[in-house]
Amino acid sequence: MKSTFLVLTLVTGLLQPASFAKPLIEEQIVARIDQGLQQSTDTLKQVVNINSGTLNFEGVKKVAEVFTAEFDGMGFDTQWIDGSEFNRAGHLVASYGTKGPKILMIGHLDTVFAKSDDFQSYQPLDDGFVAGPGIIDMKGGDMIIVSALKALKDLDLLDNVSIRVVLTGDEESSGRPLSLSKKAIVDGAKWADIALGFENGDSNIKTAVVARRSSVRWQLDVTGKPAHSSQIFTDEVGYGAVFEAARILNSFREELAGQGNLTFNPGLIAGGTRVNVQPKQAKADAFGKSNVVAKEVSVSGGVRALTTEELANAKKVMQKIVSDNLAHTSATLSFADGYPPMSPTDNNYKLLSMYSDISVSLGYGPITAVNPRKAGAADISFAAGHVDMAMDGLGLMGAGAHTKGEVADMSSFAKNMHKTAILIYRISQSELD
C-alpha cells in the first residue's frame, strides 16, 4: 500500500467541500471540454472506423498511433510496448508529471470485431445515438480520457498531479502469459495511488463500478475403468467417468451455489470411450457407446468471485470434492491464470462518493455503485489490488457491447468528460487543501 499520510490526505481532501475559487475553475473546465467536443467526436469517429479486433495487430497499432499523437500534442511522454512476447499487438503508455497524487487511467485499443466482420463503421442514428464497432467498449472511454486531460492541460491544471495512461491492446482476448500481457497495468498500479477505468460498466450513466468479480478458468479431467456396461456398479468396475463427473459437478452446485457473489459454470463437457479436446478452439468431441462404461470425461468452465478470500475458498471446496472419488475413478482439477477480483473496499466507495458529488454539482444527479453481478471482468482488476482507491465504468454509455447492435448514447460523452476532468482536478488539489 502507498504512504498512509498520502492516503489519509487524499481521502480527507476528496470529501471536503470545494473552496470559494473552485466552482469558477470547474466551470472553466466544463467550458473547455465543450469547446473541444466536436474535435473529440471527430477523433472518436476516426478511431471507430479503424478495425482493431484484438488479432488485427496492424489495426490496433493504427488506433494507438492516433492516440499517441494526441498525447504527444499535450506534452506527455509516450511509449509503445511491443506485445510479441505475449502474442498480441502491444500497449500504449503515456505519462505526465512528477508531483502530487498519482493517477493511473486505464483503457484499451482492441475490440471484439475481426477484420473480416461486416460491422466496421461509425454510423450516426436518430436521437443522439451512434452505432459503431467498439464505440462504447471502449474507444469512447479512451476519448474521454484524452479529452478530459486535454482540457486540464489547456487550462494549466495538470501541474499538481501525476498521470499515467495505459491503453492495452488485448483486453478483449488477453495475451499469455498474463504476467507479461498485464505487466504494464500492474506496474502502473504499483506506481499509482488511484486507478480509474473507462469501460462502460453497465452502460448506465447513473452508476460506476467499485467492484468486479474475478474471471478464472478451470479444467476438470475424470477417468474411469472401461468395461462392458453390464458390469457397471460392480466392485471390479465401479461407476465410470461419466457418473463421477456428474457427482463432482452436482456437488459443486450443492456446496457452493448461492454463496455470496460466487458463480461457477461448466461451459463445455465431453465424455465416453475416447475424448478429443481442442482448447484453443473451445471445442471437444467424443466417441462412446451405450454398452461401454465411459473411460474419460473432460469439463471446462469458469468461476467468478468478488474477493480473493471468496475465490480461495471456492477453489479449496472444489478440490476437496474432486478428490473424494467414486470406486475405480480418479479426477484432477486445475485452475488457469485469470482476472483477479476488484474487491469493494471502503476507499473505493469514498472515491465513488467524490465522483457522485461532482455529478450532482453539475446537475447530472447522484452516482451509485454497479451491482458486481452486472459487471464482467476488466483490466482494472489487475490494478485494484495495488492501489488505495479504484473505480471503473467511467466511459461512454450505450448498449449492445460485443454485438453488431453496439450503440453509444452521445449525451453521455461530454458529461463523463466533465466528471472525469473535475475529479482529476479535485484530486490534484487534495494535498493543497
Q: What is the mean pLDDT of residues 172-190?
A: 97
Q: Would you state the torsion angle of the CA atoms of residues 28, 34, 39, 43, taken in this order, to the nearest 10 degrees?
A: 100
Is 278:268 a contact under the CB 8 Å cutoff? no
The span from the CA of 189 to the CA of 387, in Å, is 6
- The 10s digit of each residue's pLDDT in 43-67 is 999 999 999 999 999 999 999 999 9
Same domain as 61, residue 19 = yes
Whether residues 186 and 270 fall in one domain: no
Helix, strand or coil, per DSSP, at residue 342? strand
What band does 343 get if pLDDT is binned at 50, 70 and 90?
very high
Q: How does residue 3 score in pLDDT terms, banded at 50, 70 and 90?
A: low
Is the predicted pLDDT of residue 5 greater than 60, yes or no? no
Same-domain check for residues 250 and 194 = no
Domain end residue (candidates: 277, 310, 335): 335
The confidence score (pLDDT) of residue 18 equals 45
Percent of the chain with pLDDT over 90: 91
Amino acid, res. 212: R
Domain that holds residue 65: 4-213+340-429
8 A C-beta contact, residue 46 and residue 66: yes
Give tens-digit pLDDT for 194-242: 999 999 999 999 999 999 999 999 999 999 999 999 999 999 999 999 9
Q: Which of 11-15, 225-229, 243-247 has the lowest mean pLDDT?
A: 11-15
* Paired strand residues for 123: 131
Determine the 3-state secondary structure of 308 from DSSP.
helix
What values do phi and psi take at 43, rounded to 5? -70, -35
Domain termination residue (choose one: 310, 335, 360): 335
**Which residue would you say has higher pLDDT here, 14 or 370?**
370
> What's residue 373's pLDDT?
87
Q: Among 281, 313, 335, where does a domain finish?
A: 335
pLDDT score recorded for residue 138: 97
Q: Are 262 and 401 part of one and the same domain?
A: no
174 pLDDT exceeds 70? yes
Same domain, 272 and 245: yes
Q: What is the pLDDT of residue 377?
A: 86
Say how far residue 409 (Cα) sits from the centre of its chain: 21
Q: What is the pLDDT of residues 153-173, one digit of tens each?
A: 999 999 999 999 999 999 999
Cell of 425: 482536478
Confidence tier at 281 by pLDDT (50, 70, 90): confident
If asked whether residues 15 and 132 sit together in one domain, one would say yes
Alpha carbon distance 44, 308 (integer Å) = 37
Residues 272 and 352 in one domain: no
Q: Are 370 and 209 in contact (CB under 8 A)?
A: yes
pLDDT band at 14 (very low <50, low <70, confident <90, very high): low
CATH number at residue 36: 3.40.630.10
- Average per-residue pLDDT in the chain? 94
pTM comes to 0.91
Q: If pLDDT is split at 50, 70 and 90, which confidence band does 246 have?
A: very high
Domain harbouring 241, CATH code:
3.30.70.360
Q: Where are the alpha helices (DSSP H) in 234-301?
A: 240-256
The reply to whether 140 and 283 lie within a common domain is: no
158 and 36, same structural domain?
yes
Residue with the bigger pLDDT between 31 and 2: it is: 31
pLDDT at 432 over 90: no
- What percent of the chain clears pLDDT 70, i.e. is strictly above it? 94
User: Residue 175: its pLDDT value, please?
Assistant: 96
Tell me, yes or no, whether 163 and 18 share the same domain.
Answer: yes
Query: Stretch 17-27: mean pLDDT, rounded?
Result: 68
Residues 271 and 285 in one domain: yes
| Total number of domains constituting the chain | 2
Query: Quick one: 270 and 192 in the same domain?
Result: no
Q: Which pLDDT belongs to residue 190?
A: 98
pLDDT at 375: 80
Q: What is the pLDDT, as a whole number, of residue 9?
A: 59
pLDDT (tens digit, 9 = 90+) per residue, 382-428? 999 999 999 999 999 999 999 999 999 999 999 999 999 999 999 99
Q: What is the pLDDT of residues 90-125, one digit of tens each?
A: 999 999 999 999 999 999 999 999 999 999 999 999
